[in-house]
Amino acid sequence: MSTMPVPYDDLPTDPYSAYPPVDLTKVKYPETLDNSPNSPRATWGLGIERLFPVGIAIEAWNDLNIGDYYGCRWRDLNNPIASDFVKELLPRYHLFIDGKKLPEGISPMFCRVVRAGSRNESRSATQWVLIKTTRPGGEDRKEWEPWHSELRLSVEGLEPGSIIDADTFSGGIYCLIENYENRSRNDVITIDWGGITFEYTVSPLEASGTKALRIRVPDGKNEDGTANPALKNVLNEGPQRGPFEVRFKVVDVVGNTSGGKYHFSKGFPLLSNLDPKLLPAPSFKVNGLDEFEADLDQQERPLFQLTTFPPRAAKKPVPLNKVKASLRIFSEDNVLIESVDLGEIPDTNGGVETFNVAYEHVAKAAGGRFTAFYTVSNAAGTKTSGSTFVRVLGTATHMPAPDISPIEGTLMPLDKDAIVKIPEYFPFYKTGREMVVFAQGEPGEGGLLYTDTRLAGEQGGVRDVLKENLKIFQDKGLFQVHYIVNNGMNLRSSIRHSEKRSAELGVRAVEIPAPVVTYAEDGNIDPKNVKRSILLMSFPYIGATPGCTLVWNAIGADYDRSDSGSILIDSSTEGHLLPELLVELKKEVVLGNVDGEVSFSYSVQRAGAANKPKVYTRSEVLNLTVGPKVVMDTPIVVEADKLLQDEVHPKDVLNGATVRVNYSSMRKTDDIIVSWAGEFGISIIEVHAKGNPLTNSVDVRIPPHIIALGIREGGNNITVQYRFSRGNRTYTSKPLAIRLKLVTALPAPTINGIKDALFPLLALGNEVKIEVDRWILIQRNQRKFLTIEGTNADGTALRETVYLADNVTDDEVANGVAFTLAGDTLRALKEDSVLRVMFGVSYAQRDEPETAVPFGKREYRVLAVPASLPAPAFDNKPGATLSVSPLNYLQGSFISVKYSGMTTAQTITCELLYPDGTVADIAPQKGVAAGRVDVTISAQVIAMLVNKTATLRYKVTTGTKEVWSEPQILTVGTIPAENFPMALINVAPDKGEQNLATFAGNATLTLAKWLLIFAGQKVWITCRSVGTAQLAVLTAYEVTSADVTKGLVNIPVSRPWLEGLTNNFKVEVLVTLDKSTNIENAVAFRLTDYTVKGQLRIAQQAMYLNGVSIKEFPAARTTAESFGNVQYRVASGGAGGYAYSSNNPRVASVDASGKVTGNANGSATITALDRNGTKTSYAVYVSNVYRLLYTNTPLNFGQAWAWAASVGGAYMFDAAIYDIARNYINGTNFLVGRWAYSGGGCPAYWVTYYDNANGIYCRYLTETHPVMCLQPVY
C-alpha cells in the first residue's frame, strides 16, 4: 500500500521582518482574530511607520541554486504578494511589499521556495501578523489648535482651574477620558499630570464599549484607600505648588500614535497647593507671554524667559539674596536628557527676577518637556520653589540622512570601502542601538539589504562598510541609505527611522575632463612642494550653467583624510569662468595620505524639475599618489657588462642572474615585480620582492634554469623590467635590453678520451666510449643531439645517430654525457679519412634540431698504420708540443722535416690539421740528400692559426709505400686588441663627438686594414650604449679583396639609432681571422668611445584627442577651439628649422607651430622634420568628432528616432551642445525646439528636448517637433 507524497517540506528557518517589528507575544492582552478560545493569535505586528515598504527576509535554504523561485503569500494564500528569482548566491534574500497592499487586521502569512532544477518546494510555517494603519483618536480635524482636538479629558468632580490640596483627593482622584475613534485593546494611554506621566492599558472589554474611561491617578494607595508603597504616587511627584495642566495621548499596540503634529489632548488646568511652604512656581514666557507650551515649529527663534518670584523683604537685605534657576529636560519617553543650570543672579528685592532661556535648551526637549524651578539663598538657608512643567511641541524627531563617503552626487566608487557618518540627531540615547541600512527593492519584488548594528555610544558615530559587503548593489541602480535607532525601552516610539539618502554603485560614465590639482607632477604629489599643505583643485569644464550644482571629491585613506564639497553654479562661475575657480582642500588630504593615494573627481548636476531630468555629467578620475617623488632607475643585471649593461655571458650566471632594482622613496609595502623575458616565447619569469626603504634598493635572483632556456646559437635578446603598484597607479621602469650571449668554451666530444687530431684504429677495443664533459648551465631535460660521420675503407659513408632530442638525465647533469658504442662500428674506417663527432644541446628543451646549440666539433684523421718517422718542427723548433705568438710570424713561417735516409726520390707531404679537421694547403716537396727540408707556411695560414691548436705531421712516399711521422702539437696564441685599429665614425677620433645637427642622414664608419687581413675573413661591428639595444652595423661581413687593400670604408651607421641615444656609446669590432662564421673564433679590436649630441626630440607617447567636437554645423565658427580636440607638441634638438606633417590630415592635421587638430575619428602619424631631413614621429588617436544632422519636419518621438537611426545618428548630449555654443556664432539658436534624445533621465512617456533657455529637458513623446542627432565623422 502506497501513501501520497508530501507536496513540500519545511524551510530551515521561518521568514522575518527585515526591519524590527512589534513583538505581540508580550502584550498585556493577546491580539487574536476573534474572541473565541482557539482563535489565531498574532505574534508580531506592523504599524504605519513600518509599512513603507515592508521587508521580509528569508534565510538561504537547502540546495540553493541560481534560478530558484521565492515568494511570500499574505492572507490570499493562493497567490504571492511578492516574489522573485535567485540571481546570485547570498546568505539571505529579501522581498519588499507595498504596505498599502497589506490587509488591515490579523491575517496569515507564509513564504515558499521552488528549486529551479528539481522543482522541489519548501514552505515556512504560517505566521499570523497584525497590520494596523489607523491612529487612535483618528485624524486631528482642527490642526490649527495646538492639541489633538479629538482627544478630550476632564478630572472627575473638578472644574478647570480648580485648586487641589490634600483634601481634594482624600478619596482618590480620577481622570475621565471620553470615547475616541479607533479605540482598541492594548492601547496605551499616557496621562501627563503636570509633567509626571503614568500609563493605562485599554482592556478588550473597554475597547468594545463606548463609555468614558475612568482612570485613577496613582497616589500610592490601593482602591480601598490603604497605602501601598510599591505603587507610584503621581500626586506627590507632580506639581506641589502653582498652576499645571493634565492631558493625555494614546499609542496603540503597533506604535501608531494619536494625532499628527499634536499627540496630546487639550490640557485640563489645575492649581496645586499641596505644599504651601514652597515658593511660587516660576512662569515660563514666550515672547513675553505666559505659556505651558513652546512650539518650535511656529516660533521662529522666539525669546524664551523664566520669571521667578522670590519673596520681598520689608528692608532690602545686605548682602542681597541669590536666585538660582534650573531646568530638567525630559524626552518624549520621559527619560531625563539633561539638567541645565541657568545661573545665579542677585535678588534685587523687587519680587520678580527674570532669566533668559537659550533656544538650544528648549530645542533639546522637542517632543518632550522640561520642568523649571528656582531657589533663593541667603545666610539663613535656601528655599525652593514649586516647579513649572512646559511641554515642547514641534519636530519631535530630528534625524537627518547620513553622510556617505566617498560619494559624488549619488555615485559611489566600486573600488573603495564606504564610510557612513551618522549626524547628530535627537532624541538620542547613548545606550541605544543604531542600525545603518542599505536597502533596494520595489514593492512586490525581491530586494537587497545590508545592515550594520551597534551601540550608539557618542553622537556622530562612524561606520566602515567594506566594498565586499556593498558588491550586491553593483550595477543595480539607486538604493537608499538611512539609519534606524532603538532606545531599547520596548515602547511604541522606541524605534525611529532617519531620512534617506540615495546612492548607486556602478561604472562611472566619463564625459568631461579630470580635475586639475596643483603641485601634481607625473602622477604624484610631493608634500614638501605643497605650500601650507593646502592643495588647490580646479575644474576644466565650460558647460556649467547657472542652477547647476558641482560636487567634488578628494578621496583619501578614510573619512578624516578625505574632502568633498559642492558649488552652486551662478553667473560668477558659469561657462568659461568655472575653470578659473580654485577650491582649497583641507590639509589632511596631503598630510594624512603620505605614502598613500588620493582620487580626485567631480560631477555636474543639472537642476531637475517635474518635466526636466536631473542628470549628472561626470569627470574622469585623477588618481595621484602622495609622497616623495619616485625616480626609477633602469634595472641593473649585476653579472652583465659593468659599463654598458647590454650583454651578459652565460658563464657569469651559473648560479642565476641578479637584477638590482633602485628607485627613490621605496616602501617596505611595495610589491616589486621583476620581469625577465627572452625572445621566442621562452626564458620568461616574473619574480616578486618587497621594497627596502633603508637602501632604496632590492636584489632579485633570476634562476639559472630560466636563463638556460634562453640560450641560442645566435644569442638571445632579453628584456628586463620592473614595476610596482601604489593604489590605482602602477609604476613601470624603463626596460633594459640585454643580450644573452652564446655559451663559449663548450666542450667538444671525444672518443676514448683522444683529444688530438689523430685517431689510431689499432688501439680500438671491443667498445668505443664517447664522452662530453659537463657544460655551462647544464640542466635536466635539456635535449641532446650526437652524430658520428666518417668514410669506410670500401668508400661507403658511415653515419651513426647516437642521440636525437634525448633528455639530459640527472646523472649527466652531475657527471657529463657518456655513451658506449661497439668497436666494430669504427674498425672499418678508411685510412687517412676524416672521422667527425658532432654534439649539440637544445637549452630551450625543444625537440627541434634547429634549436640546438652546436658544441665544439671533434674531427679526427684516421690512422690505420703506426707512425715511424720523427715529428716535424715548426720554425725548426722541435718538441712534441710547441706554443708560439702569431706576432712573430706576420710574414709566414716554415715547417722543418728532418729524418735519416732522406733521398731525392722521396716525396714529402706536410699536413697541418686545423682543430676542425680541415687541412692547410701546403705543396709537397722532394727530399734532399742533406736530410732536412723546410716547407713554407704562408701568412694566411698563420692568420688561420691565431688562437688555435693545430696538429703537424708529414708523410713520406717512396714508390707506392707511405710512411707517416709522429705529430707535433702547435698552439698559436692570440693577438692583443691594441695591435688592431679602431673603427671611426665620421672620421672622429676616439673619445670624440658625434653632433647629429652637423650632418644629414646616416653616419659613416671606416676601419683601417689590420694585421693578417685577408679576403674571406668575417667582420662584426656593433655599437653599444647604456640602456639601448645594441646596433649591429655589420654582422659576419665578408672581407673583399678591395677591403684588403683599403680597409672598410663608407659603412653606414643608423641615424635613428643615434637619435635615440641618451648616453655615450662604444664601437666594438670582432674579426674571425680564420674566415669562420662562428663569432667565438673572433679576435677583438680596440674599442672606440664617442659622445653624442644634437638629437632631434619630440615626445613619443601617443596623443589622444578625445574631446567632443562638432565639425559640420550650419553656422559660422568662432575663433575658439573644441575642448580636448586640439593639442600642441613641438620638437627640440636636431638641426632646427622644424616642419611637421601628418600622414592622414583628414583625421588629424598639424600646422607649422606643432598644433594638432582632430578632424575625424581615427588615427594618424605626426612627423617632425629638421633642416637636415631627420625625422621623428608619434601617433595620434582622435575620437568624439561628430557632424550635426537634422530635419525640420515635425515628427513625434518614435518617428524622430526612426529617422535618426536611418541616417546612423547618435544621441545628442550636453557636451555636444556646449561645443556648439562655444564654437559657433549663435549656434544654439539653431537647436531650439528639436528633439534631443539623450538616452534617459525623463519620466515614462517623456523624452528629452532642447530649449535654449532651459537646455535639455522633457516633453511628452507624442508631441511633434523637428529633430536633430549626431553622426560620427570618419
pLDDT tens for 30-59 read 999 887 888 899 999 998 877 767 889 999
Q: 510 pLDDT exceeds 80?
A: no
Pairing outcome for strands 495-497 and 105-114: unpaired
Distances (CA, A) of 446 to 94, 146, 1266: 5, 43, 42
Say if residues 672 and 644 touch (Cβ distance below 8 Å). Answer: no
Sheet holding 1003-1007, edge to edge: 983-985, 1003-1007, 1048-1053
Q: Of 410, 426, 400, 464, give the one whose Cα is nearest residue 331.
A: 426
pLDDT digit string, tens, across residues 1100-1128: 888 989 888 999 898 889 888 888 899 99
Q: Is 1233 helix (H, G, I), strand (E, B) or coil?
A: coil
Phi first, then psi: give them for residue 795, nearest 5 degrees: 90, -10
Rg (CA), the chain: 50
Residue tagged 681571422 (cell numbers)? 1073
The Cα 1005–Cα 986 span in angstroms is: 6
Q: 821 pLDDT exceeds 80?
A: yes
Sheet holding 636-637, edge to edge: 636-637, 657-662, 697-702
Question: Mean pLDDT across the stretch 441-448?
Answer: 73
Count Cα atoms within 13 angstroms, Cβ side, for 302. Answer: 18
* Of residues 587 and 543, more confidently modeled: 587
Confidence of residue 1039 (pLDDT cuts 50, 70, 90): very high
1086 exposure class (CB count in 10 Å sphere: 0-12, 13-18, 19+): middle
- At 783, which helix (H) or strand (E)? strand 783-791
The Cα 803–Cα 818 span in angstroms is: 11
Q: 505 pLDDT exceeds 50?
A: yes
- At 991, which helix (H) or strand (E)? none
Q: Of 637, 841, 866, give the one whose Cα is nearest residue 742.
A: 841
Q: Of 141, 155, 139, 230, give the one whose Cα is nearest residue 192.
A: 155
Report the pLDDT value the prediction gives residue 1159, as an integer from 0 to 100: 95
Confidence of residue 612 (pLDDT cuts 50, 70, 90): very low
Say if residues 1190 and 1207 touch (Cβ distance below 8 Å). Answer: no
User: Percent of the chain scored above 70 by pLDDT?
Assistant: 96
Q: Is 559 helix (H, G, I), strand (E, B) or coil?
A: helix
Q: What is the grid cell recorded at 757?
A: 687530431
Q: Is 831 helix (H, G, I), strand (E, B) or coil?
A: coil
Q: 610 pLDDT exceeds 80?
A: no
pLDDT digit string, tens, across residues 281-291: 999 998 888 88
Residue tagged 537611426 (cell numbers)? 1205
In this structure, the number of other CB atoms found within 10 A of the CB of residue 175 comes to 23
User: Percent of the chain scored above 90 by pLDDT?
Assistant: 45
Q: Where are the extended beta strands (E) located within 499-559? A: 501-505, 510-512, 516-517, 520-521, 524-525, 536-538, 549-555
Q: 263 pLDDT exceeds 50?
A: yes
Residue tagged 639609432 (cell numbers)? 1057
Q: Of 1033, 1069, 1068, 1024, give the one whose Cα is nearest residue 643.
A: 1024
Report the pLDDT value the prediction gives residue 402, as an integer from 0 to 100: 92
Q: 6 pLDDT exceeds 70?
A: no
Q: 1 pLDDT exceeds 50?
A: no
Q: 74 pLDDT exceeds 80?
A: yes
The Cα 749–Cα 771 span in angstroms is: 6
pLDDT digit string, tens, across residues 1226-1235: 888 888 888 8
Question: 867 CB contacts (<8 Å, ≥6 apart)?
Answer: 953, 964, 965, 966, 967
Tell me how many degrees the CA angle 194-199-200 measures, rounded to the nearest 5: 130
- The alpha carbon dihedral of 325, 329, 330, 335 has a sign of negative
Report the pLDDT value the prediction gives residue 568, as an integer from 0 to 100: 92
Residue by residue, DSSP assigns 271-311 as EEES-TTSBPPPEEEETTEE-SEEETTT-SSPPEEEEE-PP
Phi first, then psi: give them for residue 242, nearest 5 degrees: 115, 170
Confidence of residue 608 (pLDDT cuts 50, 70, 90): low
Q: Is 558 helix (H, G, I), strand (E, B) or coil?
A: coil
* Amino acid at residue number 1243: P
Say if residues 392 and 296 touch (Cβ distance below 8 Å). Answer: yes
Distances (CA, A) of 476 to 59, 90, 1057, 1243: 21, 15, 54, 19
Q: Is 1098 helix (H, G, I), strand (E, B) or coil?
A: coil
The Cα 175–Cα 164 span in angstroms is: 14
Q: Of 1056, 1236, 1273, give the one whose Cα is nearest residue 615.
A: 1236
Cα dihedral 724, 727, 729, 732, rounded to 10, equals: -10
Q: Of 511, 538, 553, give the one whose Cα is nearest residue 408.
A: 553
Question: 148 CB contacts (<8 Å, ≥6 apart)?
Answer: 137, 140, 249, 258, 259, 262, 263, 264, 265, 266
Report the pLDDT value the prediction gives residue 1142, as an integer from 0 to 100: 96
Confidence of residue 4 (pLDDT cuts 50, 70, 90): very low
Say if residues 544 and 604 touch (Cβ distance below 8 Å). Answer: yes
Q: Is 939 helix (H, G, I), strand (E, B) or coil?
A: helix
